[in-house]
Structure 1
Amino acid sequence: MAPSITSKNVPTPDIGSASEATAAELRSSLYDRQIRLWGMEAQARMRNAHILVITIKALSNEVLKNLVLAGIGSLTEDLGAQFFISGESVGLNRAEAAAPALQRSNPRVAVNVDISDPRSKGAGFYSKFDIVISTELDLDCLLYINDTTRECNRPFYAAASYGMYGYIFADLIRHDFIIEREKSDVRTELKQETRTRSVTAVRERKDSGKTVEFVTKQEVYSPLRSVISSKVDSTWRPRRRRMVPNVLPGVKALWKFQQAHNHLTEAKREDFAEMARLIMEANSNFIGPFVENATSEMAPVAAVLGGILAQDVINVLGKREQPLQNFLVFDGDTAAAPILALHPEGEEDGAA
């Protein structure tokens, strides 16, 4: 089991006692451009946020890099193909080896290391963090962590890259965010917009002769345990069915394979046969390329997925913009990354 980052000289952060970022610190040249982009309040939330990233490989490297540079408060992390580790790190735990380089990239961010099994921890541990990000883990481990983060009401992300393919899953439980826009002639109503999203509040402000509207919306999420039972079927609208890439049933088949064999698929006959059976159960003809890519890491794919995931985390912390709802699938063959709202019952929302 991949470990998670508590440094021998830096304690695991305690959200309840964390000091608030000062206005002077936030206005420093390091964060000035970001404050102009998303505002002081959003930057303050990031500066006081504590993020747990489990498993450090190519994808999580990209996530960590973007979050550290954005100026989050602290990272506790767990370590492939990555730019935070040199040849001198051979023999060390990946998280411990990566920590110094991460710390140097932004000294204001506290980097912590935890090398124990994520399944050995309960709600008391996970409740210390504002967001939990799990990468490259098997389904059973993801389900345990997501169940626990739900127990302590903490947002959860899962993600993995398989060569040319990959996914990001988000369970933010219940998330409020604000859309800022110029007021139009059409009145914004408090109403249910989709199955998962509703408008809960509207306020206005005059700005340079224009009326700016701040619309508060809320998204409701399903846990991974429910999402894995969701299927592409005849109840889906035709447009949405056309946008579902073969990677989705491929990911689900790979999860089942890992549960049965406790390892990822390899490019050998018996694994091809098993994955063919599992993917055919999911009504897909997509087999060979996915199996061949399952154990590989590609820097460009990791960079794309890591950038998307880190940006969504930043949006969630800042409570700005529409968050990912709830399953993004990346297909490197077509350079497509549709977002599917997968839920356990009824017709789902359309792909984004």
Structure 2
Amino acid sequence: MGTQLRLRSAKVLIINLGSVGMEIVKNLVLGGINSIDIVDDSVIKEEDYAAQFFLPNDDKFIGELKLPNIIEPIKELNNRVNINIHTDNFNQLLADKDFFKKFDLIIGTELVKQEIIELNELTRTFNIPLYVTGLHGIFGYIITDLIQHVSTVERNTINQAKTIGEELSLNKVVENYQVDKPNNKEILTIKDTYSPISSIFTSDNLPKQLSKRQLRKLSSSLPIILSLLESDRSELTTEEINLKAIQMCSNLGISPDILSKEYLQEFTNQQFTEFVPTSAILGGCLAQDVIQFLSKRESPINNTLILDGLRSEMPIYSL
């Protein structure tokens, strides 16, 4: 009951409604979130029809503002959810702090690093949890700053009991531990502490949490995705991506030897591209994490998830 009440009272803001944004909206509307506000000032482009399923099935709408043309199909998914649209420019909205402070949670999609940092400074000022996400073809990411979160996890009892204050992983600590012997269950209260997103780009946590063998096998997608966030979303050459990724490896304290020619070429071909299967996976994952966050029944993403389509994996790194 508590979870449903939290969902039915939550006010969520979603910034930009591209392919992954539409997947997030779809899943949250079907999940019964109380209200969703969407900010997007873009117009419909021909290429949008390949990956954005709420668009009207008629190319006569090309060049028109996107949000007014997709609001009705979104509302039809669940008429109990309040949907509000804003066609203001996001960067201009950032100057209006009062606009943001009324939300319980904010999701930014397809933003660049400077926009993310400015938004995160604002969300921290108002103690608002923040998710950011984006795509590069078969690759994608979710970065979170939920500030602090306490969740309760119930699971089958294992042989090794937990102790209060024990670190489960970086930034995850056991706050309480109980055993339900009759039902062979253990109940963990876990506190997650989050870092500002700006610190992720210069974090030295990877060498602290991964073995040398794990560091050598680290996917190229992590430093490449973080380095692409520093661009202005204009297409880069393979050499430009490589140089930015080498610098990111240095910032993170990892070897640039993990950067493979295969990954550099894949990102050159796919940078900023929307791909429906990736959107479905990433959008579904983020929406589910939001629902878990609001339910307080599971420990949410803390703090960088990378979707690597070449390896078919989605590791989470604490940066």
**TM-score normalised by the chain length of structure 1:** 0.77
Instruction: Show the counterpart of 1:135.
Output: 109
Deviations 1:246-267 (A, max 9, x none): 11111122123x1xxx33315x
Cα separation, 1, equivalents of 2:69 and 2:19: 14
2:68 is aligned with 1:96: yes
Is 1:108 aligned to residue 80 of structure 2?
yes
Rounded Cα–Cα distance in structure 2 between residues aligned with 1:287 and 1:42? 43
Relative to structure 1, is the Cα distance of residues 297 and 186 closer, same or farther in structure 2, using a 3 angstrom cutoff?
Answer: closer
Residue in structure 1 matched with residue 298 of structure 2 by the alignment: 321
> For residues 314 and 136 of structure 1, what CA distance do their matches in structure 2 show?
21
* 2:190 equivalent in structure 1: 217
What's the Cα RMSD here? Answer: 2.2
Q: Which one of 149, 171, 184 corresponds to residue 175 of structure 1?
A: 149
Deviation at 1:337, TM superposition (A): 1.1
Q: Using the alignment, how far apart are the partners of 1:198 and 1:94 within structure 2?
A: 44
Alignment of 1:1-352 (within 5 A): 40-78=1-39, 80=48, 81-86=51-56, 87=58, 89-119=61-91, 120-121=93-94, 122-183=96-157, 187-193=161-167, 194-202=169-177, 209-210=182-183, 212-230=185-203, 235=208, 236-242=210-216, 244-256=218-230, 258=231, 262-266=232-236, 271-281=237-247, 282=249, 283=256, 284-285=259-260, 286-342=263-319
Q: What SS is found at the alignment partner of 1:277?
A: helix
CA contact (8 A) 1:52 1:131 kept: yes
Question: Deviations along 1:165-200, whole A, 9 cap, x unmatched?
Answer: 111101111111110234567654211313311122
Identity %: 31
- Per chain length, whose mean CA-contact separation is higher, i.e. which structure has more relative contact order (CA < 8 Å, sep 6+)? 2
Equivalences, count? 293
Q: Distance in 1 between matches of 2:114 and 2:162?
A: 43
Distance of 2:282 and 2:116 partners within structure 1: 18
Unaligned runs of 5+ in 2: 41-47, 250-255
Contact kept, 8 Å, 1:67 with 1:310, in 2: the verdict is yes
CA deviations on 1:208-257 (whole Å, 9 max, x unpaired) are: x526543211000111110111258755422541453111111122123x
Q: Which amino acid in the other structure matches residue 45 of structure 1? A: R
Listed one character per residue, the Cα deviations across residues 13-32 of structure 1 (whole Å, up to 9, x for unaligned) are xxxxxxxxxxxxxxxxxxxx
SS at match of 2:22: helix
